[in-house]
Amino acid sequence: MSRKPRIKSGLGHSTADKIFVRGYDLTEELIGKVPLGDVAFLELKDRLPTPQESVMFNALVVTLVEHGLTPSTIAARLTYFGAPEALQAAVAAGLLGMGDRFGGSIEQAARTLQEAPSAGDLEKIAGQIVDSHRAAKRIIPGLGHPVHKPADPRTTRLFALAAENGFAGRHVELMGLIADRATEAYGLDLPVNATGAIAAVASEMEISWRICRGLAVMARAIGLVAHLQEEMEEPMAPEIWSRAEDEASAEMSSHRD
Amino acid sequence: MSRKPRIKSGLGHSTADKIFVRGYDLTEELIGKVPLGDVAFLELKDRLPTPQESVMFNALVVTLVEHGLTPSTIAARLTYFGAPEALQAAVAAGLLGMGDRFGGSIEQAARTLQEAPSAGDLEKIAGQIVDSHRAAKRIIPGLGHPVHKPADPRTTRLFALAAENGFAGRHVELMGLIADRATEAYGLDLPVNATGAIAAVASEMEISWRICRGLAVMARAIGLVAHLQEEMEEPMAPEIWSRAEDEASAEMSSHRD
Amino acid sequence: MSRKPRIKSGLGHSTADKIFVRGYDLTEELIGKVPLGDVAFLELKDRLPTPQESVMFNALVVTLVEHGLTPSTIAARLTYFGAPEALQAAVAAGLLGMGDRFGGSIEQAARTLQEAPSAGDLEKIAGQIVDSHRAAKRIIPGLGHPVHKPADPRTTRLFALAAENGFAGRHVELMGLIADRATEAYGLDLPVNATGAIAAVASEMEISWRICRGLAVMARAIGLVAHLQEEMEEPMAPEIWSRAEDEASAEMSSHRD
Amino acid sequence: MSRKPRIKSGLGHSTADKIFVRGYDLTEELIGKVPLGDVAFLELKDRLPTPQESVMFNALVVTLVEHGLTPSTIAARLTYFGAPEALQAAVAAGLLGMGDRFGGSIEQAARTLQEAPSAGDLEKIAGQIVDSHRAAKRIIPGLGHPVHKPADPRTTRLFALAAENGFAGRHVELMGLIADRATEAYGLDLPVNATGAIAAVASEMEISWRICRGLAVMARAIGLVAHLQEEMEEPMAPEIWSRAEDEASAEMSSHRD
């Protein structure tokens, strides 16, 4: 019987006594030999990283693991409070908030860089990108910071690592030029922020912008598990809930669900 | 070709010009004729409700639609803040918290009632249930309330409707007797709360305890959509986030994600 | 201490012995008196529906409850297979697929209608909408059907109900004219489909396009609970999984997780 | 104003120009210096791993990253099909299935080991554990495999690494003895499977059983992102959906959502 459209994932398969991940024998070649971040690179790129790629890729995801009490970690804690039987659901609830506003800014910055002309004068291209965003009244992704300070320390660090490891190429340069042009054009201090730096380096590593928010998702899953471990030991959810309610509605506690 | 295990849902199927839901022609027999709550009954019970069943079933789910700012609605609002592109994900995040602590108490109370002997003296059975929970130091589900007051108004109302509509049977009686015995045994005021009342009436309607938290899930999905509509118009998530953070960590705002 | 931004939901609040939903006393005025679909209307519109609004709103959501084995219900069943402890998580997994491709088409169609000029010749406006979509090579939302047949029976029924109940206004008329113009312009049969009909009627009822995918979410939550009840009784997930795998990877069963 | 219950996460905080993760300066001490798996260890254990701990912990999570087309990765692909705007939601849908049946078996095996007496004869303890499970007709977690073969290759590898790195302690020994006793008692081949091996080694590393399914969740988040990258390039969801439907319901395609 012919069944045309095959379903065959290139990620994993196995035989009676072997398991393969991206063609590597899981037990012989990966477990105990290749660390987690490099396996993540293998999953995405279909090959193991070079030493330079390993440093750079691990740096990108490590930047995204932990940011304290964010909307995402708070949502995870509140979800665990209601459903302690399902840790995985609380992690999932936290990841659901890694959308357009957070993970999405990496995606948009990477898209801007990856859709820019692959040849031609970068200063001119940076100017065109800033102009087109201004004309459309769209925010330029990957720039700016809420609190005033010279620069995001993560950007400085990631760009230094990019230079040391051979990833300070065209996309990184373009990201910096966009920041310069935007700072001029708007008369505001608009340095490259952490999401812009991650987007630029990921672009150098030929990670498609379509999957860039996935970097935040995989990294934050780790952080969320740690937040839930802390929540199990010292629950914060009841106090977070209590603070969210106004005094006027304090009586609601009697009917809460 | 033989393909053994058939996959065939009894819920919906269709032909070139007809759609059937539980055997009813969707456009001819349901749309515009049967309201939402009765279609929910049809989905669960495989038949349309009698008028008494319609009143009772709608009463159960209406009780569960809206409870103000709960952990679940707060998690949904925080998720929407991070991922405004996906309303469905924010509703899902809210539903993920309808677990053991909330929806689960309906499930456990219904299980207790449905696993009780279907014949025999109810006073004796109630005593055994209370005794076995005490011996195992397990909370009796469906009883008690956090704030002092004579009784949960939802219980009074649901049990009155049960009496009016022919659902004040053995499970409802047993639930009440369990509350009496528990109040005696613990020396505390332990009336039937709303989850206990819903569990008892759902048991009278022969809704399996295994699906009882689903009543909370389907009802709360409606409430969560309304909360997100309100969040779109007047965002509360930033203030909820801000209150969740201690003054000491206010600086974190600059790095928040 | 002044804390400026108040957090106060208009949806629910309560006192020691009363619970209010949108200003109505839950136990005195809603439970047993107002059915589920009308409470959903109340939640969204901040008032109870007229009899005509009740028929029309219930018709919209009833249309969306059940569509058999869709990607969404399959995802819910597979999730329940792995996590039977958390029914709410399996419903959530199903709802997560109600995005741009499904619920989103209602949203986009409603947006197109609601952003159209509120005055002026409808034929001309319809032509402009079709032309602008063609020029941008964007699909016109709410039109067309995968299988050839004269018309989607749900559209016919919903538009008949709209006429009977006073909702066959400007948005419904515009949706029909867009279908006519598109059919002409593309030389294809492009009738208004169910999502277009729901979008048009929801627009007549002044439901913001921003919340329109929420209609699909709240309705489908009911259907998903019913699918999971069926999955508990007759599990389909193992067979669905088995069919998804190619023969070549049948050995993987030994390592599946 | 006194606000008693403090909310203070020990995981992350920041000042105007520094970000700290578990007390380490993120940019100075972690990015570019500590790889992803070691940061995950830091998040969970509040200290960096020794070289031996690094090898062992990375081995545990690497084992869990990728298992091909499982219910979880299929659910993620189906969700992405319906909601391509929200990659994070498709990952979340996949994680929601990492519950009692999959990640939960690690949790249960770790719980059994961690709740066993910390002193006393291990052979006797193993016998008691097997006997009590048999008496209660409960499955012993962490044993057995669906396909016949001498042993799960992942177990062999993980236990060899445990021996090399100083983690072949009491919990690992007990897990093996439980397998021996169970094989005798049931007259079936019941070797330690991968989840049992992970549970035993995690217990040696003093990772609480309460968080053990979190190891599967954080690892699988990586695999799910890779599956969605593949799904973007070569969609399998339509074919998976098509195969899930019986021939009899093929007509449903016209109404699918």
Residue B246 has pLDDT above 70, yes or no: no
Q: Which of A99, A245, A253 sits opposite B83 (nearest CB)?
A: A99
Instruction: Give percent of chain A above pLDDT 90.
Output: 84
Q: Which of C7, C12, C251 sits opposite A16 (nearest CB)?
A: C251
Query: What residues of B are in contact with residue C222 (Cβ under 8 Å)?
Result: 36, 39-40, 43, 218, 221
pLDDT, residue C252, reads 40
**Is the CB of A242 inside 8 Å of chain C's CB atoms?**
no
Q: Can you tell me the mean pLDDT for A31-52?
A: 98
- Mutation target for B interface from A79, A100, A234: give the one with most B CBs within 10 A: A79
Query: What residues of C are in contact with residue A246 (Cβ under 8 Å)?
Result: 6-8
Residue D193 has pLDDT above 50, yes or no: yes
pLDDT, residue A103, reads 83
Q: Can you tell me the mean pLDDT for C214-228?
A: 98
Q: What letter would DSSP give residue C143?
A: B
CA angle D21, A234, A256 (to 5 degrees): 120
**C100 with D84: Cβ contact below 8 A:** yes
pLDDT, residue D151, reads 80
Among candidates D112, B238, D140, D119, which has minimal Cα distance to A71? B238
pLDDT, residue C63, reads 97
Chain A neighbors (3+ CB pairs < 8 Å) = B, C, D
Q: Which of D88, D96, D251 sits opposite B83 (nearest CB)?
A: D88
Beta bridge partners of residue C143, listed in sequence order = C192
pLDDT, residue B117, reads 97
**B83 with D83: Cβ contact below 8 A:** no
**A14 with D68: Cβ contact below 8 A:** yes
CA distance between the termini of chain D: 54
Residue D250 has pLDDT above 50, yes or no: no
Cα separation values, D136 from A76, B132, D129, Å: 35, 18, 11
Instruction: Give percent of chain C above pLDDT 90.
Output: 84
Averaged pLDDT score across all residues of chain A: 92
- Specify whether the CB–CB gap between B10 and B22 falls below 8 A: yes
Question: pLDDT tens digit string along C134-176?
Answer: 999 999 999 997 664 668 899 999 999 999 999 999 999 999 9
pLDDT, residue C247, reads 46
Instruction: Give percent of chain D above pLDDT 90.
Output: 84
In this prediction the pTM is 0.95
In C115-205, which ranges are continuous DSSP H helix?
Answer: 122-135, 153-164, 170-186, 194-204
Residue A249 has pLDDT above 50, yes or no: no
**C99 with B86: Cβ contact below 8 A:** yes
Query: How close is the nearest chain A Cα to the Cα of B235, in Å?
Result: 13
Chain B neighbors (3+ CB pairs < 8 Å) = A, C, D
Tokens 């007709």 belong to D137
CA A42 to chain centre: 17
Question: pLDDT tens digit string along B74-97?
Answer: 999 999 999 999 999 999 999 999
Q: Which of D79, D194, D245 sits opposite C93 (nearest CB)?
A: D79
Q: What letter would DSSP give residue B50?
A: P
Q: What is the SS3 assignment for C192?
A: strand
pLDDT, residue D246, reads 66
Averaged pLDDT score across all residues of chain B: 92
* Lowest pLDDT segment from A53-57, A161-165, B98-102, C201-205: B98-102
Q: What letter would DSSP give residue D1?
A: -
User: How many residue pairs from chains A and C have C-beta atoms closer than 8 A?
Assistant: 59
Residue C8 has pLDDT above 90, yes or no: no
Cα separation values, A240 from A78, A257, B220, Å: 8, 16, 21
Q: Give the integer Cα–Cα distance in Å for B220 and B236.
A: 19
Beta bridge partners of residue D21, listed in sequence order = D12, D24
Question: pLDDT tens digit string along B210-219?
Answer: 999 999 999 9
What residue in A sits closest to B144 (Cα-Cα)? A254
pLDDT, residue A17, reads 84
**Is the CB of A237 inside 8 Å of chain D's CB atoms?**
no
Instruction: Give percent of chain B above pLDDT 90.
Output: 84
Q: Can you tell me the mean pLDDT for B204-209?
A: 98
> Would you state the structure tokens that stand for residue D184, as one six-digit string?
């005798």
Question: pLDDT tens digit string along A120-156?
Answer: 999 999 999 999 999 999 999 999 976 646 788 999 9
Q: Can you tell me the mean pLDDT for D214-240?
A: 97
**A19 with D154: Cβ contact below 8 A:** yes
Pairing outcome for strands C12-14 and B24-25: unpaired
Q: What is the SS3 assignment for C150?
A: coil
Cα separation values, A209 from A95, A110, A175, Å: 19, 5, 14
Question: pLDDT tens digit string along C230-250?
Answer: 999 999 999 999 998 864 444
pLDDT, residue D245, reads 80
Beta bridge partners of residue B24, listed in sequence order = B21
Q: Can you tell me the mean pLDDT for B110-128?
A: 97
Among candidates B90, B87, B30, B41, which has minimal Cα distance to B218? B41
- Specify whether the CB–CB gap between A105 and A216 falls below 8 A: no
Averaged pLDDT score across all residues of chain D: 92
Query: How close is the nearest chain A Cα to the Cα of B64, in Å?
Result: 8
**Is the CB of A83 inside 8 Å of chain B's CB atoms?**
yes
pLDDT, residue C248, reads 41
> Would you state the structure tokens that stand for residue C167, as one six-digit string?
């909702």
- Specify whether the CB–CB gap between B75 and B230 falls below 8 A: no
Query: How close is the nearest chain D Cα to the Cα of C124, in Å?
Result: 31
- Specify whether the CB–CB gap between B82 and A72 falls below 8 A: yes
3-state secondary structure chain A: CCCCCCCCCCCEEECCCCEEECCEEHHHHHCCCCCHHHHHHHHHHCCCCCHHHHHHHHHHHHHCCCCCCCHHHHHHHHHHHHCCCCHHHHHHHHHHCCCCCCHHHHHHHHHHHHCCCCCCCHHHHHHHHHHHHHHCCCCCCCECCCCCCCCCHHHHHHHHHHHHHCCCCHHHHHHHHHHHHHHHHHCCCCCECHHHHHHHHHHHCCCCHHHHHHHHHHHHHHHHHHHHHHHHHCCCHHHHHHHHCCHHHHHHHHHCC
Instruction: Give percent of chain D above pLDDT 70.
Output: 91
pLDDT, residue C241, reads 93
Type of residue numbered B97 = G
pLDDT, residue B184, reads 95
Q: Can you tell me the mean pLDDT for B225-236?
A: 97
Pairing outcome for strands D12-14 and D19-21: antiparallel
* Lowest pLDDT segment from B139-148, C3-12, D49-58, D69-78: C3-12
**Is the CB of A24 inside 8 Å of chain B's CB atoms?**
no
pLDDT, residue B15, reads 82
* Residue B18 burial by Cβ neighbours in a 10 Å radius (0-12, 13-18, 19+): middle
**B14 with D255: Cβ contact below 8 A:** yes
Query: What residues of D are in contact with residue A217 (Cβ under 8 Å)?
Result: 87-88, 91, 221, 225
Among candidates D78, A98, B103, B77, which has minimal Cα distance to C94? D78
Query: How close is the nearest chain D Cα to the Cα of A121, in Å?
Result: 31
In this prediction, does ipTM exceed 0.90?
yes
Which of the pair, B48 or A4, is modelled with greater confidence? Answer: B48
Question: pLDDT tens digit string along C177-194?
Answer: 999 999 999 999 999 999
Question: pLDDT tens digit string along D116-165?
Answer: 999 999 999 999 999 999 999 999 999 997 664 678 899 999 999 999 99
**A88 with C89: Cβ contact below 8 A:** yes
